[in-house]
Amino acid sequence: MKMVDISKITTETRNEKTKNIDVLTTREIVTLINEEDKKVAYAVELAMDQIVTVVDQITEVFQKGGRLIYIGAGTSGRLGVLDASECPPTYGVSPDMVVGIIAGGDHALRFAVESVEDSKKEAVKDLKNHNLSEKDILIGIAASGRTPYVIGALEYANSIGVKTACITTSVNSLVAKAAKYPIEAITGPEVVTGSTRMKSGTAQKMIANILTTSSMIKIGKVYENLMIDVKMSNEKLISRAQRIIVDITGVTAEVAMKYLKKYDSVKYAIFAIMSNIEEYDKIQELLEENQGNIRKSLQKIK
């Protein structure tokens, strides 16, 4: 079995501040963890220029009909799947628009299948099964920055002309070298050595949140700071949809609900009220001409 020199992996180094954590009181343990967690946002801030670049790349891909595909193993893979799964209900997009791939498949979401992360071939196989193409952007997530599964995915994507990015929390990583647009948020040693579900995982989730939220805003899925394409899949979300219409247009709750029932869409209801255009087909035409952006659509009819 080939051994890995983990001494050179940032996330595997020991945290001097927590070496005696096993003999501390509960409050002292919790306080130490909290103190380390405070460092995560600053690590993400230092990577902001890299994040901005990747957001612009994702936005361009979305505007051209491509997909954002996350790929990773273990905790990193689970976080990619999590972010992808949250986009359809939040922004009303197709489940195919943001995709999460984890080494070992869906079974690995609940059970450890860590051995698969050592296979570059499995990554290529998984990407081919998802029909990866040059229209897409692939983001490899790897805290250690050396996961063969993720590196193999990035290498294959590069070879067929796909935009590639990565999220890593290790310095001078192989993953960062393999990605055209690396994001490196160096969170430092974990409270429990090598437990990258902690600070590294928090940073990865924060970055994924920024990437998808920012790109969805840029393609018109948000008006002001409201989710105008939210899926109304339960009572709470129907109430939220009604409130969004009220907040944006100033109509009563009753009027908002009337429009919501008529169009079955927060965005269409808002546009109908603000534009005084009632015909569904006309609303659809105007919005589609402006990539679903309400502000741009309203400007066109003034």
What are the residue numbers of the active site? Answer: 86, 117
Distance CA 145, CA 177 (A): 9
Orientation of helix 26-46 relative to helix 48-63, angle to 10°: 60
CB atoms within 10 A of CB 274: 18
Region of 211 on the Ramachandran plot (φ > 0 left; ψ -120 to 50 alpha; else beta): alpha
Angle, alpha carbons 239-243-247 (nearest 5°):
175
Distance CA 273, CA 215 (A): 26
Two structure tokens written together for 97: 């628009």
Two structure tokens written together for 87: 């986009």
Distance CA 218, CA 163 (A): 19
For tokens 């927590």, what's the residue? Answer: 18
